[in-house]
Every structure is written in structure tokens, then in C-alpha cells.
Amino acid sequence: MKCPACRGKMEQGTTTLPYELGRGKLIVVQDVPALVCIQCGEVFIESVTLKKVETLLNTVEKSGMTMGFLEYRAAA
């Protein structure tokens, strides 16, 4: 697919997504598969991938974790 911002070429890569889950809670999800524009750096994440990230965050919230880093692979 082409970049929605600049029409550049997008390549399969990974990105890091920080999530603020309310007050003082910060979870960073690493190695999330994404399409990255080689021209402007725009990142596109598929909805299927985002669903998995959400599932992962729900699990984290239930575990009572308030800060930390997660690997996307743990949810996949």
C-alpha cells in the first residue's frame, strides 16, 4: 500500500506504542508489526494488530501492572 500522507512506499516493519491507561499508568508495547513509510516515517497499523494490542492491554490491566514494557509477540 501507499503512504496516506505522502504517497511514498510503505514497508513492513515494527513500531513502539505507548499507552496511558489512566492516571500514572503507562504501558509501552514494543515490536508491534506495522507498515512504515520509507519517505516520511508515517506508521500504519492494521486493525487486526490493534485488536491484539488491546487484548494484551486488557490482560495487563487485570494483572495490576501500572508501568512497563510489553512485547507484542506475547499476545500473538
Q: Which stretch binds Zn ion (CB under 5 A): 19-27, 33-41, 50-58, 63-71?
A: 33-41
In the window 44-73, what residues touch Zn ion (CB under 5 A)?
A: none
38-56: string of b/e by CB count within 10 Å (b at 16+)? Answer: eeeebbeeeeebeebbeeb
Give dist(CA 4, CA 41) in Å, integer.
11
Pick between residue 43 and residue 65 the one whose CB is nearest to Zn ion. Answer: 43
Which one among 26, 28, 40, 74 touches Zn ion, defined by CB under 5 A? Answer: 40
Q: Is 43 an interacting residue with respect to Zn ion (CB under 5 A)? A: no
